[in-house]
Structure 1
Amino acid sequence: MAFSIYQEFYKLMYKKITWISPLILLALMIMSGYTIGFNEGKLLTMTSYNSPDWIMFILVIIGATTFSMEFQNNTILTLLYKASNKIDVYLSKYVMIFGYNVFLHVLAIIFTVGLRYAPMNAQVAWSTSYRYQQPLWENMLKTSAIDLLTTMLIVSLVFLLSCLINNNAVVISVSFLVVFMGQFVTGSLLNSGRFATVLKWNPLNMINLTREYYNYITYYATSHLANAQLLIGTLFYMTLFFALGYLIFRRKRF
């Protein structure tokens, strides 16, 4: 297992996107700073300059290519040959993505510390009380921690889709459609009032967890679930998608 994890991190280190992504993340965070506005320093700090959306975007691409490229190139056969069993291969990829996810969130926090002093933002003290009567620094750290769960839910779903579809381009396209369009469709259905009691528990609604934490009033009206309910749903579907993805991977013929 340890060797499989080492292999995955080794491959990640030699991918160009691994080192390009932090630059893309920084550029998008700067863009968010100008877009959201000068007087929204508290919101920008709490959300690390809207980094949850940008990190989700990056992880969908990396997560989709993690399996599908190896299926296309048949390099998955080498991994399976060297590993003691299939769960080592599957779990090692998941651990690798989680590690990179943590790296991106830590990087976003570091970027936030620097961007707070840029002239595009109003200066707000770290100790300023904001959401949930907590200081701003605590809001930021908790938002990042919560977003780790939200993004790992997305990764679990992407892994499931990758095991169902071998083509890399198709996996990325379907993943983006499911994640981003799925949220819009779910919100529209819930706001229509029909079957809202059942539909509010669908997995795509759980992607609202991070957004609802930093903007409860707006997103509660969309999700129809409290923060704690979204958290429970996220953990449930993350585990479910991970298990389903592995079952498909285990039965897949190469």
Structure 2
Amino acid sequence: MLTLIRQELYKQLHGKFYIGWGIVTLAITLLSGYFYHNGGTALSAINTSGRVFGNGLSMVLIAMIVFASSLLTKDFANNTVKYLFARQFSRGKILISKLITMVFMFVYLVVITFISTAIANVLFNENRAFLWHDIFGYLIGMAFYLFLMLSIVLLISNIFKSNAVAIAFGIVFYFVSNVINVFLNILVDKMEWIKYNPLNFLNILRQYSIPEYSQLSRLSVTQLEVGSIIWGIIFLLITYVVYNRRNV
């Protein structure tokens, strides 16, 4: 297992993902800090360091969707999957090593966002108040959201062999899921069981920031947390079954 993890990290360190998205996240966070704290008294008062951090995490979210979309298909696209499967590693261990690598990438991008938010706060915020509670609240919501979203993206991307197509489909699903979710929320009044569909649990990110969003999701934060974990595990198990039976 450690060998597989080292191999996955080696591939990422010699790729452009962590460098490119790290720079993009840093730039977006610093620009957010500049405009929030130099856009007039009203704007500066409304938007705190938590808002700046949130904008950085928005880029992290997109980066992780792109990363998850290509995580399983890249080996098929590069035709290196034959050598990977030929070695004495089960497909389950290979999948787990990729999931662990995904966690490392998430932690790395979050650290970049923390550092860039702190820099933006020092450079542009006259009050120098770093509101940690705003930051951690949004981060927790993002963690639950990504666990569910990325498990769905992994499952969907598992049916593609083209890396570019998988990434494009992952991004499209991210935006389309928000639109579908709006229509599903409308149907909850007539069929209450719809609120337990997996897309509704993606509302956890919004509800962490806006508690009143529970009126649309019809679920409490605790219910959304538990449901996100349950649905995420279900999608990961299905992903394993599909990946385990996938032909080279």
TM-score in same-fold range (> 0.5):
yes
1:178 to 173, 182, 186: 173
Deviations 1:77-97, CA, capped at 9 Å, x for gaps: 111222421111111000000
Percentage of matched positions with identical amino acids = 23
Question: Is the Cα contact below 8 Å between 1:60 and 1:155 reproduced in 2?
Answer: yes
Stretch of structure 1 that moved more, 234-243 or 149-158: 149-158
| Alignment pair present for 1:64 and 2:69 | yes
The aligned residue for residue 227 of structure 1 is 221
State the 1:25 CA deviation: 0.9
1:240 to 234, 244, 247: 234
User: 4+ residue stretches of structure 1 with deviation over 3 A?
Assistant: 30-33, 191-196
TM-score (norm 2): 0.88
Question: Is the Cα contact below 8 Å between 1:152 and 1:238 reproduced in 2?
Answer: yes
Stretch of structure 1 that moved more, 206-215 or 242-251: 206-215
Query: Relative to structure 1, is the Cα distance of residues 64 and 237 closer, same or farther in structure 2, using a 3 angstrom cutoff?
Result: same
The aligned residue for residue 123 of structure 1 is 127
In structure 2, list runs of 5 or more residues that go unmatched.
Answer: none
Number of corresponding residues: 242
Deviations 1:83-124, CA, capped at 9 Å, x for gaps: 4211111110000001111111122122111112333x5636
Query: Relative to structure 1, is the Cα distance of residues 180 and 49 closer, same or farther in structure 2, using a 3 angstrom cutoff?
Result: same
Query: Relative to structure 1, is the Cα distance of residues 88 and 161 closer, same or farther in structure 2, using a 3 angstrom cutoff?
Result: same
Question: Is the Cα contact below 8 Å between 2:25 and 2:112 reproduced in 1?
Answer: no
The aligned residue for residue 251 of structure 1 is 245
C-alpha root-mean-square deviation of aligned residues, in Å?
2.2
The aligned residue for residue 2 of structure 2 is 2
Query: Relative to structure 1, is the Cα distance of residues 201 and 32 closer, same or farther in structure 2, using a 3 angstrom cutoff?
Result: farther
Deviations 1:145-194, CA, capped at 9 Å, x for gaps: 33223212222112111212222222222212222221222123313554
Question: Is the Cα contact below 8 Å between 1:46 and 1:137 reproduced in 2?
Answer: no
Query: Relative to structure 1, is the Cα distance of residues 247 and 195 closer, same or farther in structure 2, using a 3 angstrom cutoff?
Result: farther
Q: How many Å separate the matches in 2 of 1:195 and 1:16?
A: 48
In structure 1, list runs of 5 or more residues that go unmatched.
Answer: 127-135
Deviations 1:41-90, CA, capped at 9 Å, x for gaps: 33x42661323321110011111112112112221111122242111111
| Residue type at the aligned position of 1:107 | I
| Alignment pair present for 1:205 and 2:212 | no
Stretch of structure 1 that moved more, 147-156 or 228-237: 147-156
